[in-house]
Each structure stands twice: as C-alpha cells, then as structure tokens.
Amino acid sequence: MFRRYRRIAWQSPLVGFVVSAGLFLLIVLPSAIGQPWRFSLGETVRSILTWGLIGVAVALTALLGGVVAIAILDRGLTHTSLFRVSWAGIGAGLAVCAGWLIVGLIESAPGWLGGYLMLGAVAGIIAAIAAAALVNRAERRAADAPLAHPLDADRPDLSVGEQSA
C-alpha cells in the first residue's frame, strides 16, 4: 500500500502550500491593492509563507486521514480503485474538519467555534477533492505500471481503465 502512495506523501505538502498561498493571493491581496499602507512587500511575502505553512499542516492532516481511511477499509488493496479514491477523499476531508474543530476548541474564544467549523468545512471539501485527485492519479499510475510486486496492482478486472459503471 505504501509503495503505491509514496508519491502522494511527497506531493501533498507542496499541493497544500500552493493552494493555501494561492488562496491568500486570490482573497486577501486584491483587497489591499491600491492601499499601499496595508501590505508592504515584506509583509506580503511573510503572509504568503504563513498561509502556505498552514496549508502544509492541513495537507499533512488530510494525508493522515486518507491513509488511515484506506488502511482501515482496504488494507490489502482488494477493492476497486473507485472505492479507494472515494474513501481517501472522505478520510482526508473528515480529518481536516476534525483538525479545525480541535483548533477551534483549543482557541476557545467566545463565538469563534462556528467560524472554525465553517473554515474546517471549506478546507475539508478542498482537501477531499485534492486527495481524491491525487489518489486517482496514483491508481491510474499503478494500473498502467508493470507488475513489479504482486501487491502493487489490483486484479485486472478491477483496474481503473476497465470499469464501465
């Protein structure tokens, strides 16, 4: 199982950084354009790095959730690829939601728990989509790869390319 998904383990922190830093550039920075006193170049770079590191933490949480979901539900990789893709996304999304809930409970400022729950829901949906896309890519790569090890690929009738339904 770990041989199949090892690339995801390296790619997910990078994807988390890029998505989170991109969200900063799309959401926060346009409101500061035309107001030079709001963000200097140094503050902008620092904010991009801060948002990016939060994205890395969220990506690692999603990675952990996806791996746990697949390890519990399909340890031997006997189910269809669609099953693993779906449950990796669900596991990643739930892990991210739970992570933001924990942050909200630790923060414990009055009235902020709902905000953390909404942030967790949005981040969980984004993480679920990203995890499903990465696992789908890994599954397609495993289906196309030659059989180097008997546990690396599914049975031929369950590969991604041969599913009709």
pLDDT in tens, 103-122: 888 887 778 888 889 999 99
End-to-end Cα separation, the chain, in angstroms: 25
Distance CA 150, CA 165 (A): 26
Specify the pTM: 0.75
What pLDDT score was predicted for residue 146?
Answer: 66
Burial level of 121, CB count in 10 A (0-12/13-18/19+)?
middle
Residue 126: partners with Cβ closer than 8 Å, 6 or more residues away:
19
Higher pLDDT, residue 31 or 118 = 118
What pLDDT score was predicted for residue 11?
Answer: 86
Mean pLDDT of 28-54: 78
What pLDDT score was predicted for residue 32?
Answer: 64
What pLDDT score was predicted for residue 18?
Answer: 92
Query: Which of 108-117, 129-138, 149-158 has the lowest average pLDDT?
Result: 149-158
What share of the chain in percent tops pLDDT 70? 79
CA angle at 12 for the pair 9 and 16, rounded to the nearest 5°: 155
User: 88 with 62: CB under 8 angstroms?
Assistant: no
Higher pLDDT, residue 40 or 82 = 82
Distance CA 109, CA 47 (A): 23
What pLDDT score was predicted for residue 89?
Answer: 93
User: 11 with 60: CB under 8 angstroms?
Assistant: no
Mean pLDDT of 126-137: 90
- pLDDT for 158 beyond 70: no
Higher pLDDT, residue 42 or 97 = 97
pLDDT in tens, 46-57: 888 999 999 999
What pLDDT score was predicted for residue 53?
Answer: 94
What pLDDT score was predicted for residue 159?
Answer: 47
Distance CA 149, CA 137 (A): 19
Distance CA 43, CA 26 (A): 16
What pLDDT score was predicted for residue 91?
Answer: 94
